[in-house]
């Protein structure tokens, strides 16, 4: 139970911190000094006479981003440079590798946590419960499911006002309620095909 | 206003309450009082009442239980899968606003509270924009990376996708823009070299395996944590915005799972898009952030205003089109769209677009992958092929809707629906196996559209742009029409095969149990068709420039035909044919191009496609799915043209038992509980007596249940034989009889009524405009029956010769 609670709070904390990191990255991206690897000037030069087309990449700043600075070594002799450069197109681009790295790592960690939790719920929890509490508890928790009365919600509303003093009991109760909700949703969507077909 | 809050001490003058026909006196008293205390806010009326009355309704010690001493938690909330009462919600909000406005004159703190209450709406919009923009940026970056993961890995840092891996490299060549030694395909990693049949087979196997893995993870996560996260979500959001309640549909688990599995589903190569699910994600953000503000948390009608704005935010981040997003929300998704919401939606959409721009997922500050940058002119005669594209779009739209609905219906009713995970895996396997050999289906659909929208210049080296350059001294813009080389012909038949593949596979993909959107596949189908037609026209104009139709404007050496523009118009036509969007589609497309040059072709194609599609089938894809699921959605665009009357639709019918009513002072707790358990109606009218059938009000089942249960638990003396009173004053009882229960506060004192001869056109109009859930029918002043929204929907289905039992909810 403690593990479940820790997992749930860790979840929410990760989501919140992930969002915070994203927002922080947005704000710091413009203020901190740009990594020199994250800017480039890309010049695309099409085929000219016998020369094949070529792409030139250099990390220079925006004011130096033109054909004369970037295209090195110049493949044509002096008098043709202007004609060659007229056909080249130079663009200044920048990116934030920190944002990309942070996003991918956050995404993979959330995905990993969810997968672990799913494995735990489907495989480990029934085994653990059976070992700790025996068969009777398992059957009891299954009976809570399937309250199809339209007033399951009404009873929920009233019972929510009863106070629960024990924190762990609260977590357990919240988790049971969530599981019941997911099971109801699964019944409507996957089994009875009532919603979202 | 309705007196649902039930402030105690509402006394008028010292009038006795009669139990039968002294009602006239009571009513007269009520009118007198209302005229005097017209604009006094409820709080003041309470004080005035307490001073002048000695009836002892409130605070006096007696054996009656006044159910309105404090509001019972749960009264005023709604059941799952039920419709809200718009009128009640709106008047609750007006009461709350009046209370705050009147209190604000009392102290500085109250003034600050009233200012912050007014400001809270804008703060909420700002937060929604930030959150949705951040999530969309994260989704874009992750989807890009994961899509490329099927092809290989970057040794520089595994988090870079192909393009970013080779960003700083000097090894890229003109012909192969993305070649660099740091990016290794799976064949290179596994067997060491990247050429040859063995490498091809290895790449093929890895592609299919990764696709299957992603799809399996997606569907398992959806099934295990949030089954509501599947599908596109726009149909359900439309229904929610019209007043339906689906608990959990916009919750935090649905948000998390939808975000994560959307990336997985898009990366697995399935023929689906992420625009529809982004609308769902944005609405989830909106719903979750509403819980921070009491004003929106407690009121369902205000919350739906916020959700309309959130839907606009969703489209805005999907296409980088804030105005298009707002118009999409107005046209497609929202039901009631007050003018105040228009400005706020626009603000939220702008904030989201700005946030997305700062995250910069695509580099170059582009917001969407297929941003179009050409501005070549078009000629009036080209309207003919554009209209042809529109006709194709309409035909494809109607065809797609018919086949997709048939497939979904089969999934709903036969054994196919029992194996959702297997279905996803099989479809992914078929898609991956058929998509890998063709270059144009192997890349992601957004990249395909981006390549098709691209106008070929000297700087392009893709297969599609392999033209023979005759005159090599021109600059890179303004190229004349050139004859096609062999690569272009290869690309043409590959694109034709891709078109057939996409048309067929999207039918089975949309509606599967993973998040799936429809915009990108439709645009891809249209773009392929448009490009094929455009290249055909271009070559025709080049080789036959002496024909009459080309003579005036397409001289050799001029740049007359832009195939990229045809692709764009085709994409707009197909998207319009499927979704039946009009203004929002044109505005989204013109925001994608950044200019007004192409508005006329886009409008021509969109209008033609909508007319052709409407001629074949009335509904767009989202309305068709609403109809398939049986949601209680009263279509605002349809005209009701039949001459039926209210008495033809109302219940009870002539052969049914009479209407189940409650009387205002003759019922006991046991009677009411028996009634509730024997029937399934969600509300009961309250009448003066069974003989007179004169209407007092309307009470909801849920409120009755909660109030009675609450009274039984909290108040001693309430037993099964206690009397229930819906009247203003309860008659004094001897102390030996059990305590009385007054439930006037939960009763709606102003239910809407129509007479039995009211034409159904007017009744339907009333339901639409006011957002009613039920309406009572009277005859000569006496209560005769009731019409609910479900009855109206069934009646409309019957009139259109559809199955009335397909309406499942009420």
3-state secondary structure chain A: CHHHHHHHHHHHHHHHHHHHHHHHHHHHHHHCCCCHHHEEEEEEECCECCECCEEEEECCCHHHCCHHHHCCCCCCCHHHHHHHHHHCEEEEEECCHHHHHHHHHHHHHHHHHHHHHHHHHHHHHHHHHHHHHCHHHHHHHHHCCCCCCCCHHHHHHHHHCCCCCCHHHHHHHHHHHHHHHHHHHHHHHHHCCCCCC
The reply to whether B618 falls in a domain is: yes
Q: Does B316 touch chain A (CB under 8 A)?
A: no
Is B110 contained in some domain?
A: no
Residue B528 and residue B485 in one domain: yes
Q: Do B591 and B499 fall within a single domain?
A: yes
Average the pLDDT over B352-366 and give the result: 80
Check if B555 contacts A (Cβ < 8 Å). Answer: no
Does residue B553 sit in the same domain as residue B694?
Answer: no
Q: Are B291 and B261 in contact (CB under 8 A)?
A: no
Q: Residue B364's pLDDT is what?
A: 66
B576 and B677, same domain (yes or no): no
Torsion of CA B600, B601, B602, B606, to 10 degrees: 100
Res. A155: pLDDT tops 50 = no
pLDDT band at A30 (very low <50, low <70, confident <90, very high): very low
A13 CA to chain B: closest CA distance, Å? 13
Minimal-distance CA residue of chain A relative to B408: A197
Residues B461 and B587 grouped into a single domain: yes
Residue B174 lies in a domain: no
In DSSP terms, which residues pair with A57 in a beta bridge? A42
CA gap B531, B570 in Å, rounded = 8
CB atoms within 10 A of CB B288: 17
Pick from B629, B662, B691: which residue ends a domain? B629
User: What digits encode the pLDDT tens for the residues B194-250?
Assistant: 788 899 999 999 999 999 999 999 999 999 999 999 989 999 999 999 999 999 899
Domain count, chain B: 2
Residues shown for chain B? 810
Judge if B411 and B456 occupy the same domain. yes
CB contact under 8 A, A157 and B223: no
Map tokens 């990594």 to a residue: A35
Contacts of A37 in chain B (CB under 8 A): 168
| A109 has pLDDT over 90 | yes
Residues A130-135: what's their mean pLDDT? Answer: 72
Contact between B590 and B626 (Cβ < 8 Å):
no
**Are residue B414 and residue B552 in the same domain, yes or no?**
yes
State the Cα torsion A169-A174-A175-A179 to the nearest 10°: 140
Q: What is the mean pLDDT of chain B?
A: 84
- B138/chain A closest Cα distance in angstroms: 6
B760: CATH: 3.10.580.20
B652: cis peptide before it, omega within 30°? yes
A74 pLDDT more than 60 = yes
Q: Which of B145, B227, B408 sits opposite A104 (nearest CB)?
A: B145
Same domain, B661 and B712: yes
| Residue B7 pLDDT > 70 | no
Distance (Å) from the alpha carbon of A26 to chain B's nearest alpha carbon: 6
Residues in chain A: 197
**Structure tokens of B21?**
């026909």
Residues of chain B in contact with residue A154, where contact means CB-CB under 8 angstroms, are 74, 79, 702, 705-706, 709
Q: What does the pLDDT average to over B70-93?
A: 83
For B359, the closest chain A residue by CA position comes to A26
B411–A188 CB contact, under 8 Å: no
- Left if phi > 0, otherwise alpha if psi is -120 to 50, otherwise beta: which for A71? beta
Q: Which residue of B has its CA nearest to A106?
A: B138
CA-CA distance, B373 to B381, in Å (whole number)?
A: 23
B8 assigned to some structural domain: no
Residue with the larger pLDDT of the pair B348 and B117: B348
- E strands, B263-337, are none
CB contact under 8 A, A151 and B170: no
The shortest C-alpha distance from B123 to chain A (Å) reads 17
Same domain, B610 and B464: yes
What pLDDT is recorded for position B546?
Answer: 82
CB contact at 8 A, B587 and B324: yes
In the numeric block, which tokens belong to residue B329?
Answer: 């929300």
Rounded to the nearest angstrom, the minimum Cα separation between A95 and chain B is 6
Which range of residues forms the domain containing residue B772?
Answer: 646-800
- Residue that wins the pLDDT comparison between A72 and B310: B310
Residue B74 within a domain: no
Tell which wins on pLDDT, B281 or B470.
B281
B591 shares a domain with B565? yes
Lowest mean per-residue pLDDT among A71-75, B236-240, B401-405, B518-522: A71-75
CA distances to A155, B642, B644, B798 from B762, in Å: 39, 11, 10, 18
Compute the count of residue pairs across chains A and B with CB atoms less than 8 Å apart. 180
Q: Is residue B216 exposed (0-12), middle (13-18) or buried (19+ Cβ within 10 Å)? A: middle
Q: Which of B138, B228, B408 sits opposite A103 (nearest CB)?
A: B138
- Point out the least confidently predicted range of A64-73, B222-231, B534-543, B553-562: B553-562
**Judgement on whether residues B538 and B659 belong to the same structural domain of the protein:** no
- In terms of domains, do B540 and B600 share one? yes
Range scoring the smallest mean pLDDT among B520-529, B624-633, B800-809: B800-809
Interface test with A, best of B170, B358, B455 (most A CBs within 10 A): B358
Contact B226 A185 (CB under 8 A): yes
Output the pTM of the full model: 0.85
Q: What is the pLDDT of residues B370-406, one digit of tens each?
A: 777 778 888 888 999 999 999 999 999 999 999 999 9
Q: Which of B600, B629, B658 is the last residue of a domain?
A: B629
User: Do the Cβ atoms of B152 and B189 come closer than 8 Å?
Assistant: yes
Out of B159, B230, B248, name the one closest to residue A181 (CB): B248
* Cβ contact, residue pair B142, A193, below 8 Å: no
pLDDT band at B12, cuts 50/70/90? very low
**Shortest Cα distance, chain B CAs vs residue A31, angstroms:** 12
Is the pLDDT confidence value at B172 over 90? no
pLDDT digits (tens, 9 = 90+) for A165-176: 578 888 888 888
The single-letter DSSP state of residue B802 is S
Query: Which residues on chain B are in Cβ contact (under 8 Å) with A150?
Result: 79, 680
Q: Has residue B456 been placed in a domain? A: yes
Residues of A in contact with B175 (CB under 8 A): 53
ipTM score of complex: 0.84
Torsion of CA B127, B131, B132, B136, to 10 degrees: 160
**Residue B747, helix vs strand vs coil:** coil
CA B428 to chain centre: 26
- As to burial, measured by CB atoms within 10 angstroms (0-12 exposed, 13-18 middle, 19+ buried), residue B733 is middle
Residues 729-748 of B with CB under 8 A from A: none
B-chain CB neighbours of A182 within 8 Å are: 224-227, 253
Q: Are B328 and B588 in contact (CB under 8 A)?
A: yes
Q: Are B349 and B327 in contact (CB under 8 A)?
A: no
CB contact at 8 A, B484 and B468: yes
CB contact under 8 A, A197 and B360: no
Q: Would you say B348 and B359 are in contact if contact means Cβ atoms under 8 Å apart?
A: no
Residue B807 has pLDDT above 70, yes or no: yes
Give domain status of residue B79, yes or no.
Answer: no
Residue B216 belongs to some domain of the structure:
no
Tell which of B629, B658, B679 closes a domain.
Answer: B629
Q: What is the pLDDT of residue B46?
A: 40
Contact between chains at A53 and B710 (C-beta distance less than 8 A) = no
pLDDT of B18 over the 50 cut: no
């Amino acid at each position: 139970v403690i593990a479940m609670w820790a997992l749930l709070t860790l979840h929410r904390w990760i989501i919140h911190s992930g969002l915070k990191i994203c927002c922080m990255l947005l704000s710091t991206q413009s203020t901190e000094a740009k990594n020199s690897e994250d800017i480039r000037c890309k010049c695309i030069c099409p085929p000219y006479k016998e020369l094949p087309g070529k792409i030139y990449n250099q990390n220079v700043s925006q004011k130096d981003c033109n054909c004369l600075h970037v295209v090195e070594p110049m493949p044509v002799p002096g008098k043709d440079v202007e004609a060659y450069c007229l056909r080249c197109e130079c663009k200044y681009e920048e990116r934030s590798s920190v944002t990309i790295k942070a996003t991918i790592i956050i995404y993979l960690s959330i995905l990993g946590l969810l997968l672990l939790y799913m494995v735990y719920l489907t495989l480990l929890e029934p085994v653990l419960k059976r070992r700790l509490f025996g068969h009777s508890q398992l059957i009891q928790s299954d009976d809570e499911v399937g309250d199809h009365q339209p007033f399951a919600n009404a009873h929920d509303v009233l019972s929510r006002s009863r106070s629960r003093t024990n924190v762990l009991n609260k977590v357990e109760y919240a988790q049971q309620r969530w599981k019941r909700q997911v099971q109801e949703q699964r019944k409507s969507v996957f089994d009875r095909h009532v919603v979202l077909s | 206003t309705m007196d649902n809050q039930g402030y105690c001490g509402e006394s008028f003058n010292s009038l006795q309450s009669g139990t039968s026909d002294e009602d006239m006196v009571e009513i007269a008293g009520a009118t007198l009082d209302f005229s005097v205390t017209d604009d006094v806010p409820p709080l003041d009326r309470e004080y005035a009442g307490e001073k002048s009355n000695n009836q002892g309704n409130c605070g006096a010690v007696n054996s009656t239980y006044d159910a309105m001493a404090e509001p019972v938690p749960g009264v005023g909330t709604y059941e799952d899968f039920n419709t809200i009462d718009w009128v009640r919600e709106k008047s609750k909000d007006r009461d709350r606003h009046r209370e705050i406005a009147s209190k604000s004159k009392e102290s500085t703190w109250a003034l600050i509270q009233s200012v912050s209450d007014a400001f809270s709406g804008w703060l909420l919009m700002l937060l929604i924009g930030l959150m949705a923009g951040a999530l969309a940026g994260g989704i874009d970056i992750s989807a890009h990376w994961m899509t490329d993961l099927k092809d290989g890995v970057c040794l520089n840092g595994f988090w870079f996708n192909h393009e970013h891996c080779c960003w700083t490299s000097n090894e890229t060549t003109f012909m192969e823009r993305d070649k660099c030694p740091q990016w290794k395909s799976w064949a290179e990693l596994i067997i060491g070299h990247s050429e040859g049949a063995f490498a091809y087979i290895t790449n093929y196997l890895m592609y299919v395996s990764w696709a299957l893995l992603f799809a399996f993870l997606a569907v398992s996560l959806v099934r295990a944590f949030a089954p509501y996260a599947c599908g596109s979500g726009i149909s359900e959001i439309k229904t929610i915005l019209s007043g339906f309640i689906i608990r959990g549909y916009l919750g935090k688990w649905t948000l998390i799972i939808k975000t994560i599995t959307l990336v997985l589903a898009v990366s697995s190569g399935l023929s689906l898009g992420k625009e529809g699910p982004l609308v769902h994600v944005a609405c989830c953000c909106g719903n979750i952030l509403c819980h921070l503000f009491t004003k929106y948390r407690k009121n369902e009608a205000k919350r739906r205003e916020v959700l309309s704005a959130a839907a606009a935010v969703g489209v805005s981040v999907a296409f980088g089109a804030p105005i298009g997003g707002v118009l999409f929300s107005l046209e497609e998704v929202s039901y009631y769209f007050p003018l105040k919401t228009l400005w706020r939606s626009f603000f939220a959409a702008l904030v989201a677009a700005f946030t997305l721009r700062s995250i910069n997922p695509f580099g170059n500050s582009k917001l969407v992958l297929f941003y179009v940058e050409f501005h070549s002119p078009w000629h009036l005669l080209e309207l003919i092929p554009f209209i042809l594209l529109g006709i194709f779009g309409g035909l494809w739209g109607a065809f797609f809707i018919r086949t997709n609905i048939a497939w979904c219906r089969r999934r709903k009713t036969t054994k196919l629906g029992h194996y959702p995970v297997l279905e996803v895996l099989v479809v992914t396997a078929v898609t991956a196996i058929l998509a890998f050999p063709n270059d144009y289906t192997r890349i992601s659909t957004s990249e395909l559209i981006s390549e098709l929208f691209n106008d070929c210049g000297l700087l392009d080296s893709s297969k599609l742009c392999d033209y023979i350059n005759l005159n090599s001294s021109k600059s890179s813009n303004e190229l004349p029409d050139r004859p096609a080389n062999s690569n272009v012909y290869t690309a043409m038949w590959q694109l034709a095969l891709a078109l057939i593949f996409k048309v067929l596979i999207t039918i089975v993909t949309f509606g599967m149990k993973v998040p799936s959107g429809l915009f990108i596949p439709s645009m891809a189908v249209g773009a392929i068709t448009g490009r094929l037609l455009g290249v055909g026209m271009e070559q025709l104009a080049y080789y036959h420039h002496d024909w009459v139709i080309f003579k005036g404007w397409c001289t050799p050496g001029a740049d007359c035909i832009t195939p990229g523009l045809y692709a764009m118009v085709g994409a707009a036509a197909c998207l319009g044919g499927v979704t039946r969007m009009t203004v929002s589609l044109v505005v989204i497309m013109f925001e994608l191009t950044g200019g007004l040059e192409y508005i006329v072709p886009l409008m021509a194609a969109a209008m033609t496609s909508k007319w052709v599609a409407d001629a074949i089938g009335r509904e767009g894809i989202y309305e068709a799915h609403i109809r398939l699921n049986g949601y209680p959605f009263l279509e605002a665009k349809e005209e009701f043209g039949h001459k039926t009357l209210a008495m033809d639709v109302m219940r009870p019918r002539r052969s049914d038992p009479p209407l189940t009513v409650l009387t205002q002072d003759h019922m006991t707790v046991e009677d009411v509980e028996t009634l509730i358990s024997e029937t399934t109606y969600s509300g009961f009218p309250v009448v003066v007596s069974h003989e007179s059938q004169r209407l007092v009000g309307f009470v909801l089942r849920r409120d009755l249940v909660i109030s009675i249960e609450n009274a039984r638990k909290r108040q001693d003396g309430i037993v099964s034989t206690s009397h229930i009173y819906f009247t203003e004053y309860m008659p004094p009882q001897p102390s030996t009889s059990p305590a009385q229960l007054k439930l006037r506060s939960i009763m709606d004192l102003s239910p809407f009524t129509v007479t039995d001869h009211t034409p159904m056109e007017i009744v339907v109009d009333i339901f639409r405009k006011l957002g009613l859930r039920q309406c009572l029918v009277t005859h000569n002043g006496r209560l005769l029956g009731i019409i609910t929204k479900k009855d109206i929907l069934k009646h409309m289905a019957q009139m259109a010769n559809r199955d009335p039992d397909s309406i499942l909810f009420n």
